Amino acid sequence: MVIRLFNSLTGKKEPLRPLTKEVRMFVCGPTVYDYPHIGHARTYVSYDILARHILASGYGLRFVVNITDLDDKVLERAHHDGVTYKEVSHRFTAAFLDDLQRLNIETITSFPCASEYLPQAIEQISTLLKKGFAYAVGNNVYFDTSKFSRYGSFSGQSPLELKLRRLDPDPLKRSQSDFLLWRSEDAGTTSWDSPFGRGKPGWHIEDTAISISTYGDQYDLHGGAIELIFPHHEAEIAQAEALTGKSPFVRHWVHSGLLKVKEQKMSKSLGNSIRLREVLRETDVSLLRLYFASHHYRETFSWRESNLKALSGRLKDLQKAWKLTVQSTHSSKSRNAGDQKEALEKVRRCNRAFYACLDNDLDTPGAIAVLFRLVNLALKVLTRPHSRTLSVEIENTLAKCARSLGILLHKIDVDE
């Protein structure tokens, strides 16, 4: 089977066809000015499951999640706390990495920081100016969207609609749809020297500096929450393709839905976010991952603790089936089993169906339904005479499926 994913660039499900045997994947990371919330967890669990499936399908994987450490929110937090921006970014980057570890997210290969790629961002802005895709005005530098004919096509917006979406308000800009590449800063503020004057890079060019420096002119897959399609990913495409002259910049754009609270967007700025570490103090990480995976990655839904707790019984069934299977496999008791061909074939059908669901636009709800079909089968057939071949087949299949979802199965003492 081939992995098929919904491509936001084309608006349809398409086969994932990487440029090489190693899938190169970039997912937009956090702005590190506070602790991660459960909306962040939902996003990164989704891409971790995708990464696990890519690896299970036989590909190599290079998976980058960037750290946005130059954002105004980081600088404002530093000013509020009376510390440097580096102290703020280091503190909350460490918290983010710690939370990822608690979530059993282990597929990400690197976490480059925007601050580490300032020279590359400055160089890219200089190139855009030389090529006529950018202009300086009032000590700021903007991308000239009128020079990039495809601007707006990714988000499905007309030039008129784009002009109504005011970005980086500035009366000196040529068009209100033009976006910031470099913003001048007053003396004494956190800023950096550049050929355009002292200042700081815009949000969009920070990511492009990292991705092009890491992967080159084109790569396989870019992910992030659906709210990033515009302006962030629209701007990334415009910058990168203007810089390199190559299209598409990214072959496959994969966007995840949002996690809401009482039908409202979860946001630190709105004050309705729920810190991930507070949830993990009281919630089994496997239960939380199961809850997220019970919704399709592109689905937007509201956090409901009652729905989370309702899944605890299913997780207990999984762990019960796992314990029964492992103990059965390692049991020295003699078995008097009849023909096991039908049961073995049911297990193998479950295995095929599970991965067929993941191949189909990462259909985790479908995969979970198959997993619990296997759980029910295990609880049924392993409580009566059966062959070791059957218990080994069930053990291997349960382990593979759980690993693909990042669910941690209990370590079983085979002498129990």
pLDDT (0 to 100) of residue 29 = 98
pLDDT (0 to 100) of residue 334 = 47
Question: Residue 253's beta-bridge partner residues?
Answer: 222
pLDDT (0 to 100) of residue 215 = 98
pLDDT (0 to 100) of residue 143 = 98
For the stretch 343-364, pLDDT in tens is: 999 999 999 999 999 999 999 9
Mean predicted confidence (pLDDT) in 375-390: 88
Helix (H, G, I), strand (E, B) or coil at 204: helix
Phi-psi label, residue 415: left if phi above 0, alpha if psi -120 to 50, beta otherwise:
alpha
Q: Is the pLDDT of residue 416 over 60?
A: no
Mean predicted confidence (pLDDT) in 128-152: 97
Q: Is the pLDDT of residue 318 over 90?
A: yes
User: Over pLDDT 90: what percentage of the chain?
Assistant: 84
Crossing angle for the helix pair 118-130 and 234-244, nearest 10 degrees?
70
Confidence class for position 335, pLDDT limits 50, 70, 90: low
- Give just the sign of the alpha carbon dihedral 11, 14, 18, 19: negative
Residue ranges of alpha helices (H) inside 219-275 are 234-244
Give the integer Cα–Cα distance in Å for 198 and 192: 5
DSSP class of 226:
G
Q: Is the pLDDT of residue 285 over 80?
A: yes
User: Which of 255-269, 292-306, 392-406 is predicted with the least confidence, judged by mean pLDDT?
Assistant: 255-269
Residues 6+ apart with CB under 8 A from 164: none
User: Which of 138-147, 150-159, 278-287, 383-392 is predicted with the least confidence, judged by mean pLDDT?
Assistant: 383-392
Confidence class for position 339, pLDDT limits 50, 70, 90: low
Mean predicted confidence (pLDDT) in 244-257: 98
Confidence class for position 388, pLDDT limits 50, 70, 90: confident
Choose the most confident range, by mean pLDDT, from 183-187, 211-215, 382-386: 211-215
Q: Is the pLDDT of residue 372 over 50?
A: yes
Mean predicted confidence (pLDDT) in 157-186: 89
Q: Which domains does the chain have, with CATH numbers?
A: 4-131+203-306 (3.40.50.620), 312-405 (1.20.120)
Rounded CA Rg of the chain: 24
pLDDT (0 to 100) of residue 323 = 94
Cβ–Cβ contacts within 10 Å for residue 251, how many? 18
Question: Residue 180's beta-bridge partner residues?
Answer: 142
Mean predicted confidence (pLDDT) in 124-134: 99
Measured at the alpha carbon of residue 53, what is the angle toward residues 49 and 55, in degrees to the nearest 5?
Answer: 120
Give the integer Cα–Cα distance in Å for 388 and 215: 48
For the stretch 186-214, pLDDT in tens is: 877 889 999 999 999 999 999 999 999 99
pLDDT (0 to 100) of residue 265 = 84
pLDDT (0 to 100) of residue 415 = 55
Residues 6+ apart with CB under 8 A from 207: 28, 66, 68, 114, 232, 236
Mean predicted confidence (pLDDT) in 248-254: 98
Please return the burial class of 202, using the count of CB atoms within 10 Å of its CB with bins 0-12, 13-18 and 19+. buried
Q: Is the pLDDT of residue 86 over 90?
A: yes
- Give just the sign of the alpha carbon dihedral 233, 239, 242, 243: negative
Whether the CB-CB separation of 195 and 184 falls below 8 Å is answered with no
Crossing angle for the helix pair 203-215 and 234-244, nearest 10 degrees?
50
Confidence class for position 303, pLDDT limits 50, 70, 90: very high
Mean predicted confidence (pLDDT) in 234-244: 98
pLDDT (0 to 100) of residue 300 = 97
